[in-house]
Amino acid sequence: MEMTGAQMVIEAMKLEGVDTVFGYPGGAIMNVYDEIYKQNDFRHILTRHEQAAVHAADGYARSTGRTGVAFVTSGPGFTNAVTGLATAYMDSVPLVVISGQVPITMIGTDAFQEIDATGISRSCTKHNYLVRSAKELPRILKEAFYIAASGRPGPVHVDIPKDVTAEVAAFEYPTHIDLPTYRPTTKGNVRQIKKAAEAICNAKRPVFYLGGGIINSGSAELVREFVQATQIPAVETLMARGSLRYDDPLLLGMVGMHGSYQANMAMSETDLMIALGPRFDDRVTGKLSEFAKHAKVIHVDIDPSSIGKLIDVDYPIVGDLKEVLEVMIPKVKECVDPDRYQAWRNILKRYNEIHPMHFEDSDKVIKPQWVIKRVGEILGDRAVISTDVGQHQMWTAQFYPFSYPRQLVTSGGLGTMGFGFPAAMGVKRGVPDKVSINFTGDGSILMNIQELVTAVESRLPVVNIILNNHYLGMVRQWQTFFYDKRYAETDLSFQPDFVRLAEACGGVGYRVETKEEFDEALQDAVNKGVVAMIDVIIDRDENVLPMVPSGGTLYNMMLEYKD
C-alpha cells in the first residue's frame, strides 16, 4: 500500500498500539498533524510547551511500563524538548520522540526554524535518526520502538524533514527487527550466577543494593521473593522506591546522600554487596574510595557498560534482571541459611534504634514531612506520586509509604525542576484509576505552570501539592550549611497567588496553613476529581536530614543541624 510519510507515522502509531501522543504542532510537522486530525486510533494531548510534552510522555511511560510518545516541530520546538529527552535518557525511560525538520534541500542553509536536531540529541538519546526518504520511514519507526523498549530502555529520536512527510512510497511495516550491531544480552552467564550464589551463601554481612533496573525489568516480585528467602537486608536507591513494601522489616530505607542511617551504615560495613540494577550514582556512593570498601561486589545489569564503570566488581553478570534472578534464586535457596545473618540484622536494627528516620513535628507550623506522611495515610496505595526536584523530592522519598513498583515518578539522574506536573499528567492518562499527586516546591511548579491549561482542557485531574517555603529550598539549605548563609538569589518571597492562578486556568486552588485545612483541601480535591493546586505554607527553614555532604562518606553523615 502506498501512502505519504505523514500517513506512515500515523499508521506506525496504530500498529505499535500507541493510545496517546503528547505534542505541540508547528510548520515542519504540519503534514503529520493534518493526518492526526483525520484519525481516531489514538488520542493527542496538546501541551502548552514542548518540554512538557516529553515529560508527560515520560510520566506515562514510567507509570505504565509502555513506551511514551511525543511529537514536536523543528528548531525551537525541538530544542525545548531536549531537557525532556535528557531527563528520560538519564533514568532509562523508553520514549519515541518525533520531530519535524526543514525540507532536505534546505538542511544546512540556516533555514527558518532549522537546527541540527540529531546532532543535538546524539548525546542524550539511546539512538537517533534523520530520515532521508519515505521509503526508509517504516523500518526506522519500527526500529525506534524496538530500541527504546529493549535492553536498557531509553529515548529514541526520529527527525523527519517536511518533504519526507509529503513523499509517497510503499508502506510495509516490518514484523521483525534484526540489528547486527544491537543485540542485548538477556541471559546471564550460568557459571557466574553460580559463583555469585555461592558468595551469597558464604557471606556474613550481605546486603541487597536495589536499583532502578528492577522497575524497568519488571522483576520486583522476584526481588521480594529473593529477599524473603534469604532474609538478607536491602537498601533502595531513589529510582527503586517501591521495589519492596515500605513496611518490609528487611528494608533499611533509601541509601545515599539523604538516605537512612541504617541503610548507609549497612553499605559501609557489608562484606557482600548484591547490586541488582543500580548505576552507582554519585548521590548514592559519596566518596568512591570509601564506598562499601570492605565488600565483595555482585553486579547484575543488562547494560555491560555500567558494570565496572565506577567500582571494581567481583561477580559481573550481564543480563536481564528478571531472567538472571529466575536462575539465581533457586541456586541460592539450595545453600542459604537465613539464620547465618541474624547477628548482622541485629546490628542494623540497633543502628535504626540509635538514629531512626524522623522529624520534629510542630503544632505552630506545618512541617513538610507531615504533609507527605499524611497524604500516605489518606491515599496510600490509591495514589501514584510524582515529584519535582528539590527538598520536597527527598522528603517524599524518605517519608511516603511506597508499596509497589512504579508508584514513584521522579527525575533522578538529571534532577529536572519542572518535571513533576507534566509527568503527573502522563501518569493520570496512563493509570486513570489512580489518584495522581504531584509533590512540588514553589520554585519547581513555576517552571511548567502553563500546563494547568493542558490538564484542565484534557481532563487530567492532577493534585499539585506545593510545599511552599518561599525559597529555592535545597539551594538555600546548601547555602546555610556550606556558604555561611549567603542566600544568593534563593529568596522567593515574591510569588503569585497560586489559588487565583489555578482558578484562572479553570482549576481549583487552596491555601493551607493548618493541618485541619490541609486534610479538608486534599479530600475536597480528590473527591471532586479536579485539577488542583494546594498551596501549603510550611516551615521556611526546615532542612532535609540526614545528609552526606557532596564527596563525603556514607558513614559520616550529618544527622542534625544546629544554628
- 232 grid coordinates: 538478607
Q: Are 512 and 443 in contact (CB under 8 A)?
A: no
434-455 pLDDT, tens digit per residue, is 999 999 999 999 999 999 999 9
**pLDDT score for 199:** 98
Active site residue 50: yes
Catalytic choice (42, 106, 113, 231): 113
Rg, C-alpha atoms of the chain: 24
**pLDDT score for 491:** 97
Distance separating alpha carbons of residues 286 and 263, to the nearest angstrom:
13
3-class SS at 561?
A: coil
pLDDT confidence band for 193 (50 / 70 / 90): very high
Distance separating alpha carbons of residues 544 and 391, to the nearest angstrom:
6
Q: Are 100 and 160 in contact (CB under 8 A)?
A: yes
- 370 grid coordinates: 507531615
pLDDT at residue 541 above 90? Answer: yes
Active site residue 231: no
305-349 pLDDT, tens digit per residue, is 999 999 999 999 999 999 999 999 999 999 999 999 999 999 999
β-pair type (2-4, 168-170): antiparallel
3-class SS at 531?
A: coil
Active site residue 113: yes
452-493 pLDDT, tens digit per residue, is 999 999 999 999 999 999 999 999 999 999 999 999 999 999
207-220 pLDDT, tens digit per residue, is 999 999 999 999 99
The 10 Å Cβ neighbour count of residue 539 is 18
**pLDDT score for 478:** 97
Catalytic choice (39, 112, 377, 528): 112
Catalytic choice (11, 126, 142, 162): 162
**pLDDT score for 562:** 79
Strand-pairing partners, residue 462, are 436
Distance separating alpha carbons of residues 513 and 519, to the nearest angstrom:
11
98-148 pLDDT, tens digit per residue, is 999 999 999 999 999 999 999 999 999 999 999 999 999 999 999 999 999
Sheet holding 532-537, edge to edge: 408-409, 383-387, 435-441, 462-468, 532-537, 508-512
**pLDDT score for 563:** 78
What DSSP character marks residue 189?
A: P
492-518 pLDDT, tens digit per residue, is 999 999 999 999 999 999 999 999 999
Residues 6 or more apart from 235 whose CB is under 8 A from it? 207, 208, 209, 210, 251, 252, 253, 254, 255, 259, 263, 266, 267
Distance separating alpha carbons of residues 329 and 332, to the nearest angstrom:
5
Catalytic choice (474, 533, 547, 557): 474
269-307 pLDDT, tens digit per residue, is 999 999 999 999 999 999 999 999 999 999 999 999 999
